[in-house]
């Protein structure tokens, strides 16, 4: 069996190195590729490393079964799909190999030479280096055009982020494939230009250096700094705890030393780090339940130092131009489990952030204040992209990218969508557009629950609904075809956004392609669902879905005419073709009814068990009144009724229950 996508076929993949991270890379590959029958080979020259890697992988798979993450048969298939071997020839036939050996250049060069003698000419060779530039790693490669860095983060089987770092000689098609491939298998790849340390590690290791300098200068203990860092920066674990967990002292020592000449003079390996590496010792950190006391004044002092370093480091990376602001903000948050730097600067004020960086630079020789931060402080908040656009010839592809929340909609997403589609409308070279979501799990998982929870009363509820309508009405009446490419599930506002598009196609086999779960949260659709869905499919079916919080699979959506087709191959490419066909008049799409629509004389009985009778009463009005009104007036009526439902007690009960249980338990509505 094979795994084919984007013009390449994977028959077998390999991992070289069974040390700290190689087995975890292999585990993830096996998880996603075993169902396709694509074997994974792990190679190492040390038998003990192979044994240890296999044992650790088995332990993680068994733990997955225990927690319910894997079914027993799935776990068995994953384990059996990995071969652990010291025989390099076992890598023959691999179409992709990730080298995950130690960060020593002579070893990487030797591995590359061996791989080029074993693999076919078009096989991709990637290095999981955490620092070295691809030009350095592949300096002796005979075919550097098929080689690049793929930098994983700890733990590699669970951490979503990978940095894709092509070298100067890497073929663009190879880098493009890796970006699409890693997105397709569930990772969050960001493209980074070649520079020592790439985009994320200088922030992680630089923040550790800033924390250690606090300790060396007697500002606080390692326990105190860890505690303050977690609170001030939202870290999952403090910098010293993170270093213990990852075993990162040696590689950080090397990285900080090289950053001094590669990035800025402030970087260095502090004395205490050198001592810990020499002694192979861990840092003293807070115990699991230990409460560490930090006086308020000391807490402010440590926090300001760490924030100044954090903001300065992130701004330097952005200023270097090796990646974009949106990807960097998202990657730091996702890979390091820390508050996103530019979002945090916006929260506290960019001018205040600049002052913290300037204060840190004054106290720390060689620390840079990035010009991009100085300029932004004069302008106001950072504009953090969550909607990205890339033109494919005469069709614009618009991608909603918020992977941590499965592309959920908030007011900022709506604002950026309006900006992008305004530009598309004005463009003379564009004949149409494609709207899709990042990844394969979700097109849009719904409205951001934080946005809904912030709504206070009927007036704010109606206003929130109207804002979503403004954007969707604009898309619907763009004057150019907009094809929604449903790359995964859509719920609530995501489904409603898709309904506003000219046409819809979907990745094949999505079990929950459309869904209107609002009633389970104690609300009604507020972005057009109660008005558009009954116009797009059989009224009785829409009536039942809306009132029960039901969903539709891709197969069902095709039968109902809600999508044009299910796609097995490149969904975005097919969506572009459909947009061009519609624009040229080669494909006729029946427009949504703008006037009133007929309501069947009899509708199926629906008993919304466990749901709010008050919300159901308002929803029935929205559906029936919306059908009897022209589309525009029906949408305005929906906004009014959405506001009404936001004034009910059941709305608060439903949202609070969702925030606490994620709908694992039904809300206890009071029907008022």
- Helical packing angle, 22-33 and 47-67, nearest 10°: 50
Q: What is the largest CA-CA distance in the chain?
A: 83
CA distances for 41 relative to 46, 87, 164, 529, angstroms: 15, 10, 22, 48
Given 133, 420, 496, 566, the catalytic residue: 496
Please state, in angstroms and rounded to a whole number, the distance separating the CA atoms of residues 163 and 130: 9
Catalytic, 496? Answer yes
| Whole-angstrom distance, CA of residue 204 vs CA of residue 223 | 18
Contact, 571 vs 507, CB < 8 A? Answer: yes
Count Cβ neighbours within 10 Å for each residue of 200-236 and write b for 16 or more, e otherwise: bbbbbbbbbbbbbbbbeeebbbbbbbbbbbbebbebe
Tell me the angle at which helices 201-216 and 296-320 cross, rounded to the nearest 10 degrees: 150
SS3 254: helix
What are phi and psi for residue 532, nearest 5 degrees? -80, -40
Under DSSP, the state recorded for 81 is T
Beta bridge partners of 148: 126, 166
Contact indicator for 664, 548 with CB cutoff of 8 Å: no
Three-class DSSP category at 387: strand
- Asked if 263 contacts 318 with a C-beta cutoff of 8 angstroms, the reply is no
The span from the CA of 250 to the CA of 81, in Å, is: 33
453 to each of 74, 192, 332, 431, 456, how far by Cα in Å? 38, 36, 26, 39, 8
Closest CA to 120 of 88, 140, 91: 91
DSSP label of 151: E
Surface-to-core class of residue 428, CB atoms within 10 Å of its CB (0-12 exposed, 13-18 middle, 19+ buried): exposed
Give CA 321 to chain center in angstroms: 21
Q: Give the tokens for residue 366.
A: 């060689």
Crossing angle (nearest 10°) for helices 22-33 and 72-80: 120
Q: Which two tokens stand for residue 351?
A: 């001018």
Choosing from 99, 316, 518, 644, the catalytic residue is 518
> What angle (nearest 5°) sits at the alpha carbon of residue 613, between those of residues 611 and 617?
125
As annotated, the active-site residues are 496, 518
């Amino acid at each position: 069996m094979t795994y084919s996508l984007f013009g390449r076929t994977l028959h077998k993949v390999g991992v070289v190195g069974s040390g700290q991270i190689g087995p975890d890379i292999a585990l993830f590959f096996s998880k996603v590729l075993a169902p396709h029958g694509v074997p994974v080979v792990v190679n190492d020259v040390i038998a003990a490393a192979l044994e240890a890697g296999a044992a650790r992988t088995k332990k993680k798979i068994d733990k997955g079964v225990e927690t319910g993450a894997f079914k027993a048969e799935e776990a068995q298939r994953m384990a059996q799909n990995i071969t652990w071997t010291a025989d390099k020839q076992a890598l023959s036939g691999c179409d992709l190999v990730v080298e995950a050996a130690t960060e020593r250049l002579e070893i990487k060069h030797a591995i590359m030479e061996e791989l080029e003698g074993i693999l076919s000419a078009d096989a991709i060779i990637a290095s999981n280096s955490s620092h070295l530039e691809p030009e350095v790693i592949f300096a002796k490669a005979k075919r550097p055009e098929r080689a690049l860095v793929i930098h994983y983060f700890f733990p590699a089987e669970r951490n979503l982020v990978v940095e894709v770092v092509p070298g100067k000689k890497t073929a663009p098609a190879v880098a493009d494939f890796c970006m699409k491939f890693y997105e397709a298998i569930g990772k969050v790849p960001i493209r980074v230009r070649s520079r020592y340390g790439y985009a994320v590690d200088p922030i992680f290791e630089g923040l550790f250096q800033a924390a250690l300098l606090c300790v060396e200068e007697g500002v606080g203990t390692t326990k105190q700094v860890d505690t303050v860092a977690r609170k001030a920066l939202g870290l999952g674990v403090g910098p010293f705890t993170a270093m213990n967990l990852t075993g990162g002292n040696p590689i950080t020592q090397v990285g900080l030393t090289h950053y001094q000449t590669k990035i800025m003079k402030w970087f260095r390996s502090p004395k205490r780090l050198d001592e810990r590496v020499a002694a192979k010792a861990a840092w003293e950190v807070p115990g699991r339940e230990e409460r560490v006391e930090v006086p308020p004044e000391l807490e402010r002092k440590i926090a300001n130092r760490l924030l100044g370093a954090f903001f300065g480091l992130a701004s330097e990376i952005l200023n270097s131009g090796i990646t974009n602001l949106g990807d960097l903000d998202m990657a730091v948050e996702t890979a390091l489990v820390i508050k996103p730097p530019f979002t945090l600067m916006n929260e506290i004020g960019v001018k205040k952030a600049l002052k913290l960086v300037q204060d840190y630079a004054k106290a720390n020789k060689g620390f840079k204040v990035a010009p991009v931060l100085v300029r932004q402080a004069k302008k106001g908040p950072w504009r953090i992209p969550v909607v990205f656009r890339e033109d494919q010839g005469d069709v614009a592809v618009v991608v909603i990218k918020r992977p941590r929340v499965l592309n959920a909609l908030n007011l900022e997403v709506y604002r950026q969508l309006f900006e992008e589609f305004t530009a598309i409308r004005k463009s003379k070279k564009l004949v149409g557009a494609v709207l899709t979501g990042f990844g394969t799990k979700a097109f849009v998982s719904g409205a951001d629950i934080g946005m809904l929870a912030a709504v206070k009363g009927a007036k704010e509820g109606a206003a929130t609904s109207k804002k979503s309508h403004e954007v969707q009405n604009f898309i619907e009446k763009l004057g150019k075809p907009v094809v929604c490419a449903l790359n995964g599930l859509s719920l609530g506002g995501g489904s409603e956004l898709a309904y506003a598009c000219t046409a819809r196609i979907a990745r094949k086999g999505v079990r929950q392609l459309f869904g209107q779960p609002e009633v389970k949260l104690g609300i009604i659709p507020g972005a057009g669902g109660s008005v558009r869905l009954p116009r797009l499919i059989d009224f009785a079916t829409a009536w039942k879905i809306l009132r029960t919080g039901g969903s539709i699979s891709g197969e069902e959506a095709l039968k109902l005419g809600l999508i044009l087709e299910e796609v097995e191959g490149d969904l975005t490419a097919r969506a572009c073709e459909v947009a061009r066909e519609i624009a040229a008049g080669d494909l006729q799409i029946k427009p949504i009814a703008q006037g009133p629509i007929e309501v069947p004389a009899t509708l199926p009985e629906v008993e919304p068990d466990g749901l709010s009778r008050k919300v159901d009463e308002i929803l029935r009005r929205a559906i029936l009144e919306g059908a009897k009104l022209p589309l525009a007036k029906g949408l305005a009526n929906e906004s009014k009724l959405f506001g009404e439902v936001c004034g009910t007690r059941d709305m608060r009960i439903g949202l609070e229950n969702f925030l606490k249980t994620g709908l694992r338990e039904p809300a206890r509505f009071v029907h008022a």
